[in-house]
Structure 1
Amino acid sequence: MNASMLPNPQLYGHHGYNANPDQSWMHSQPGHQHQVQQATISAAQQQHYNRLANSHNSAATGMPVSAAAHVQDSGLENVSEDNRRTLGYIADLLNENTREAALLELSKKREQVPELALILWHSFGVMTSLMQEIISVYGLLNPSQLTAAASNRVCNALALLQCVASHNETRTLFLNAHIPLFLYPFLNTTSKSRPFEYLRLTSLGVIGALVKNDSTEVINFLLTTEIIPLCLRIMETGSELSKTVAIFIVQKILLDDSGLNYICATYERFYAVGTVLSNMVAQLVEQQTARLLKHVVRCFLRLSDNARAREALRQCLPEPLRDATFSSVLRDDAATKRCLAQLLINLSDNVMDSGGNHQGISILAGSDTEWVPQFSTLRYYTVPARITQLATLSS
Structure 2
Amino acid sequence: MNPLSQQQVRGMMPQPTMPVVDRERIYQWINDLSSPETRENALLELSKKRETVNDLAPLLWHSFGTIAALLQEIIQIYPCILPPVLTASQSNRVCNALALLQCVASHPETRSVFLAAHIPLFLYPFLHTVSKTRPFEYLRLTSLGVIGALVKTDEQEVINFLLNTEIIPLCLRIMEGGSELSKTVATFILQKILLDETGLSYICHTYERFSHVAMILGKMVLSLSKEPSARLLKHVVRCYLRLSDN
Mark yes or no: TM-score above 0.5: yes
In 2: Cα distance, 1:156 partner to 1:259 partner: 30
1:266 paired with 2:206, answer yes
In 2: Cα distance, 1:271 partner to 1:97 partner: 50
SS at match of 1:131: helix
In 2: Cα distance, 1:111 partner to 1:144 partner: 32
| Aligned amino acid, residue 203 of structure 1 | S
1:114 paired with 2:54, answer yes
Consecutive unaligned residues of structure 1, counting only runs of 5 or more, are 1-56, 62-78, 307-395
Aligned to 1:147: 87
Aligned to 1:277: 217
Moved over 3 A (4+): none
Q: Which of the two has higher C-alpha Rg?
A: 1
Report the count of equivalent residues.
Answer: 232
* TM-score computed with the length of structure 1 as normaliser: 0.58
Deviation at 1:230, TM superposition (A): 0.3
Aligned to 2:78: 138
* TM-score computed with the length of structure 2 as normaliser: 0.92
In 2: Cα distance, 1:212 partner to 1:178 partner: 18
Aligned to 1:211: 151
SS at match of 1:97: coil
1:171 paired with 2:90, answer no
| Aligned amino acid, residue 296 of structure 1 | V
Which deviates more from structure 2 when the two are superposed, residues 204-213 or residues 286-295?
286-295
> Which of the residues 142, 165, 186 maps onto 2:126?
186
| 1:1-395 map, 5 Å | 80-306=20-246
| Aligned amino acid, residue 135 of structure 2 | P
| Aligned amino acid, residue 111 of structure 1 | E
| Aligned amino acid, residue 74 of structure 2 | I
In 2: Cα distance, 1:173 partner to 1:229 partner: 25
Q: Which has the higher contact order (CA 8 A, sep 6+)?
A: 1
Consecutive unaligned residues of structure 2, counting only runs of 5 or more, are 1-14
In 2: Cα distance, 1:287 partner to 1:96 partner: 44
In 1: Cα distance, 2:229 partner to 2:84 partner: 30
Deviation at 1:258, TM superposition (A): 0.2
More helix by share: 2
Identical pairs, percent: 69
| Aligned amino acid, residue 139 of structure 2 | L
